[in-house]
Chains A and B, each alone.
Chain A
Amino acid sequence: MSLIEISVHFSTAMLSLTVVFAFIRLVRGPSLPDRVIALDLMTTVGIGIIAVYAISTDKPVFLDVAVILALVSFLGTIAFAYYLQKVTDIADLKGD
């Protein structure tokens, strides 16, 4: 077992645990923004998992997937923030 294999195993375990933690927050999260930041963390961890997978399989092609995932996750978070703001505005209008 080489040095890189050991560290790939270690980091795969760490990243999987992080996805589990974020998923617990996604299920439990008391408010909608909690769930949004849990999803955001999961996509960020996804970029890391893709990098680790590219190292372990020795195929650097997967880096293109990481580029696209970074772009899409940013757009998704911005869209969620916009939606949250719209919901608040509508609730304010109804409250008044």
Chain B
Amino acid sequence: MFQEAVCAIFLIVGSTFIFIAGLGMLRMPDLFMRMSASTKASTLGVGFLLTALAFKFTQLDIVSRAVAVIVFVILTAPVAAHMIGRAAYIAGVPLWYRSVIDELCGQYDRCDHRLGSIDIRTQDDERAEGDA
């Protein structure tokens, strides 16, 4: 009875998180926000669903396999999202028109796409510092 209750709670919580991920995927205004919403919430939701499965079947082999899938998803989902986001940023996918700041602007090398902390101050900034 206790196992059933815990399994049901984890099922409901996990599917709600995945539903939130889908809602973010549909409603968010630009690619990077959509990616942020869908990756984080869906990873957590799948983790909850597999935990529910581990509580339902309490044999050792099933539980260890469920834990292996959870660890694998938690390790790989951020890597995949980072690679897609990096490729999309370099390809020039636009930010939302009401975005306030783009911290990454000018930090990627235009030829070999390497990330570096280049000094991107303009000449006006240097002149202002010279005056002060």
Residues of A within 8 A of B12 (CB): 7, 10-11
- Looking at the assembled complex, report how far the CB atom of A80 sits from the nearest CB atom of chain B, in whole angstroms: 7
Most B CB within 10 A of own CB, among A37, A52, A54, A81: A37
If A33-B91, A40-B84 touch, whether A21 touches B11 (CB-CB below 8 Å) is no
Could you say which residues of chain A place their CB within 8 Å of the CB of B39?
A: 37, 40
Inter-subunit contact B22/A18 (CB<8 Å): yes
> Once the chains bind, are A51 and B22 in contact (CB under 8 Å)?
no
Asked whether, in the complex, the Cβ of B84 is within 8 Å of the Cβ of A51, the reply is: no
Contacts of A51 in B (CB 8 A): 46, 49-50, 52-53, 66
Q: Is B95 an interface residue (CB 8 A)?
A: no
Contacts of A14 in B (CB 8 A): 15-16, 18-19
Describe B's contact surface by its main secondary structure.
helix
- Residues A67 and B69 in contact in the complex (CB < 8 Å), given A33-B31, A84-B84: yes
Q: Of B75-83, B99-107, B119-127, which stretch is located at the interface?
A: B75-83
Whether the Cβ atoms of B83 and A31 lie closer than 8 Å is no
In the complex with contacts A3-B5, A31-B88, A34-B31, A81-B83 CB distance below 8 A: yes
Cα A74 to Cα B46 in complex, Å, equals 15
